[in-house]
Structure 1
Amino acid sequence: MTSKKYCVSLLCLSLIIILAYAIVAEWMLHRLNETHTGESVAVDLQINENALYGSALTNDIGFLKHGIISRTKPDIIALGTSRTMQFRAPFFKNTTFYATGGLGDSVDAMEDTFDRISKDYVPKIIIFAVDWDWVNPNIRHVRNPPIFEEKNTISNRLNLYKGLYYERWKNEKVRAQLMRPELKERDMIGNRPTVGLLAGGKSNGFRSDGSYQYGEDILHPPSTAERFKDTHQRIQDGNRRFERTEHIDETEFLKLATLITKMRERGSHVIVLLSPFPNEIYQAFMESKGHRDFTLQFEHCVRDLCVAQNVPFYDFTNMAWLNAPDEEALDGFHASERTYGRIVLQFESDPVIAPYINKDFIEACMVNSNHPFQIIPADM
């Protein structure tokens, strides 16, 4: 065989292997309801059909959230971690709203998010939920680069294949779904089209307003003991966002002050809040060496910062301060939609956001729903 024929044969064999790899991957993605993960189609489905998005193959939702924000340009955004994902668009009237939660967990990540948003437009109001662990000196904060980029179709697909094969190897539940798919085209709670294995299998995922639907917990709420067990363990062990320290990190705190200044100078009205913990967990902080002093210093320093910058400030660190029982908490550091309805009602004291608060609707929802977590009708 000549060298030319050998090279051609090798090239053909390589192409056949690549094609087979892609065909098998696409078949598995279809079986797992993950075909549109990382694609603009998922953005279209959320905007146009109110789809529920929940992928089991990747945690990167930047393509989805920034895609929706760049197209809809909401007047009000909730900027923060997963602890903003219980704010809902129906809480507000005569305006548009979106929750950015899930894009990062540090001051740097919040600045990255705001900078990317403000390239297209500047939100009128930013509800800025500041988390305690951002200024903990014993936590290493890293910037996670996005996996999916809008214009890199081939790269996006290859990264999705990588996540697919990794989860297929590691995750027994993914393998079980490949063998016997038990997925629903519409979620069991809100009857939305589903995108992703978590959405189709468990009705878990992001709604079109950026909030997160905890499908399994809504359908079958665990006991508070079950919900709080992991957080108590974190506090006891001093790890996973609950590392012990006596003082805030001055460098990270300065970054926080600078970011608030930047957002205001760009033209946004900024409201700062401290997101709630269940009373049981807050009391565990107060009884724990290495958590109590830090928590109190964090609360006081953010309050003083907001006073100095003349920024509206709301300290909801303890759910009990909202007259919210611990039964409303999703887990040890995520309050539910019901609690966040209470929070939005407190914003009435701010004259800028007050006209947009859908007060009558929120109050009616809280009366009409007897669920500890969900108050807004499921299909909204």
Structure 2
Amino acid sequence: MKKFLTKLLIYSSPAIIYLLLGEVLLYKYKETVPLNTVVQQQAGSKQELYFFRKCFNTPTALYKRKMVEIKKPDILALGVSISLQFRSLLFYPYENRFYNAGFMVNNLQDFESYIDLLHTNALHKPRLIIFTLDPSWIQHLGFYDFRNNITNPVLDEIKHPNLHVKAVQEAMQFTFNTYPNVRFNGPGFGAPAMQRNGYRRDGSLNNRVQIDTYLAKRHYMDYDYKQHLKNSTFVFAHPLQVDNEKIKSLMHCFEALRAMNIQLIIYFPPIADDFYQYTRHNVSYTRVFSAYLQLQAELQRRRYQVIPFATPGQLGLTDDYMLDAIHPGEVIMSRQFYQYMAGHPEALKTILGLDLAHLKQVAYQHTLCPLSFNGE
């Protein structure tokens, strides 16, 4: 028996060493920091801390919910990935009262459940919601429609021991592929966060990969969205059809917020001119987008505060200001926000004292990259 155990130890020792080394890497990358610890440290830090994992999941909806519970923001950004460029620095002197909860509410199930939480005072009721409304919200079988992220959020993978083997493999591969540029002392939680790529303390997303790629190549990239539309893959994987029931439900949600005296600014984000021209040859997408613009007009008719759709070219800019075909960078988003707020004094009713001069200075400052103010 002793001889058998000795042989077993000899043969299994490489696997044990591999797993132990991998767990050390996961620890060094702070991939295994529990979500509650991440939230507490981000909320209490005066220095920027990022959160984004590579080897385990980043349970964004749960993470954003916990941050909202702690911060109790009076100014809240909602939407899917396209909303993530709204930053606290736009809201001086109310930076500490802002939070970007993008990806907490990903579909109409989420939106309705979130409103239920407001009704029951289970979550802090914000004074202002900036809701980013992209075409996926009215599309039948949208990309994010298959889960209620409020009542049934994706949980934290680090709590599942069986997922650590996969995570160890990821950590080893990532480390050796990026050596000698590996960083273990970056200001964040998770391997990407160590490189300043991930969610900031205010909930916005720093897109270091796109920023660094632009700085290296100095031209817009659509990141294959035209190909995805052509092949019906990724966010276009399901048939592009307008869902009128979703439009009705969306309007009902907006009316519910209005009834609670929550100010609502609805942002119709830009898409790249290059992609916009390409979509005009796609009948299904054109049909959805036409209904999307009709919804914009209807919201304006009902006297909602709407930042209207425009391409970069229509704003006097270029596609260089877009992170990709459908995601605006923070510079173009901030300029649209400033132009709307400066031209619509009534939009300031719940944030009296918002410093428009500061907002303009931020939005129109000189930047090294049209995607980001400072890359941080």
1:35 equivalent in structure 2? 32
What is the alpha-carbon distance in structure 1 between the residues aligned to residue 285 and residue 232 of structure 2? 9
1:235 equivalent in structure 2? 229
1:339-376 deviation per Cα after TM superposition (whole angstroms, max 9, x unaligned): 1111211331152337454432343332332321112x
1:133-177 deviation per Cα after TM superposition (whole angstroms, max 9, x unaligned): 12212546211532348xxxxxx7523x44433344467734648
1:133 aligns with 2:129: no
1:292 equivalent in structure 2? 286
1:211 aligns with 2:208: no
| Counterparts in 2 of 1:314 and 1:129: CA distance versus 1, 3 Å | same
- TM-score (ref. length: structure 1): 0.79
1:160-215 deviation per Cα after TM superposition (whole angstroms, max 9, x unaligned): x44433344467734648998922423xxxxxx21111111x32110011111112
1:142 aligns with 2:146: yes
SS in 2 for 1:98: strand
What is the alpha-carbon distance in structure 2 between the residues aligned to residue 180 and residue 138 of structure 1? 44
- TM-score (ref. length: structure 2): 0.80
2:111 equivalent in structure 1? 110
What is the alpha-carbon distance in structure 2 between the residues aligned to residue 317 and residue 83 of structure 1? 14
Equivalent residues of 1:33, 1:197 under 8 A apart: yes
What is the alpha-carbon distance in structure 2 between the residues aligned to residue 252 and residue 224 of structure 1? 39
Query: Could you tell me how far 1:273 is from its partner in structure 2?
Result: 1.6
Equivalent residues of 1:328, 1:372 under 8 A apart: yes
Where do 5+ consecutive residues of structure 2 fail to align?
A: 1-16
Supply the AA of the counterpart residue of 1:369.
T
What is the alpha-carbon distance in structure 2 between the residues aligned to residue 289 and residue 244 of structure 1? 15
1:53 equivalent in structure 2? 51
1:231-268 deviation per Cα after TM superposition (whole angstroms, max 9, x unaligned): 11112112322357675201111111111111222221
Equivalent residues of 2:23, 2:168 under 8 A apart: no
What is the alpha-carbon distance in structure 1 between the residues aligned to residue 59 and residue 326 of structure 2? 22
SS in 2 for 1:78: strand
What is the alpha-carbon distance in structure 1 between the residues aligned to residue 217 and residue 181 of structure 2? 29
Task: Write the mapping of 1:241-320 to structure 2, written as runs, cut at 5 A.
Answer: 241-242=235-236, 247-308=241-302, 310-320=303-313
Identity of aligned residues (%): 19
What is the alpha-carbon distance in structure 2 between the residues aligned to residue 246 and residue 44 of structure 1? 41
What is the alpha-carbon distance in structure 2 between the residues aligned to residue 247 and residue 163 of structure 1? 37
1:17-49 deviation per Cα after TM superposition (whole angstroms, max 9, x unaligned): xxx9x98885453133213142x2211221222
- Out of 220-229 and 298-307, give the one that drifted further: 220-229
What is the alpha-carbon distance in structure 1 between the residues aligned to residue 193 and residue 217 of structure 2? 23
| Counterparts in 2 of 1:238 and 1:337: CA distance versus 1, 3 Å | same
Equivalent residues of 1:31, 1:181 under 8 A apart: no
1:284-321 deviation per Cα after TM superposition (whole angstroms, max 9, x unaligned): 1223221112211211123214423x211222252333
SS in 2 for 1:128: strand
| Counterparts in 2 of 1:105 and 1:147: CA distance versus 1, 3 Å | closer
| Counterparts in 2 of 1:60 and 1:28: CA distance versus 1, 3 Å | same
SS in 1 for 2:234: coil
Q: How many corresponding residue pairs?
A: 343
Task: Write the mapping of 1:193-212 to structure 2, written as runs, cut at 5 A.
Answer: 193-200=187-194, 202-212=195-205
Where do 5+ consecutive residues of structure 1 fail to align?
A: 1-19, 150-155, 187-192
SS in 1 for 2:266: strand
Equivalent residues of 2:29, 2:191 under 8 A apart: yes
Equivalent residues of 1:62, 1:148 under 8 A apart: no
Which contiguous aligned blocks of 4+ residues in structure 1 show a shift greater than 6 angstroms?
22-25, 177-181
1:329 aligns with 2:331: no
SS in 1 for 2:334: helix
What is the alpha-carbon distance in structure 1 between the residues aligned to residue 252 and residue 345 of structure 2? 22
SS in 1 for 2:130: strand
Query: Could you tell me how far 1:110 is from its partner in structure 2?
Result: 3.0
Supply the AA of the counterpart residue of 1:99.
N
| Counterparts in 2 of 1:362 and 1:77: CA distance versus 1, 3 Å | same
What is the alpha-carbon distance in structure 2 between the residues aligned to residue 225 and residue 374 of structure 1? 14
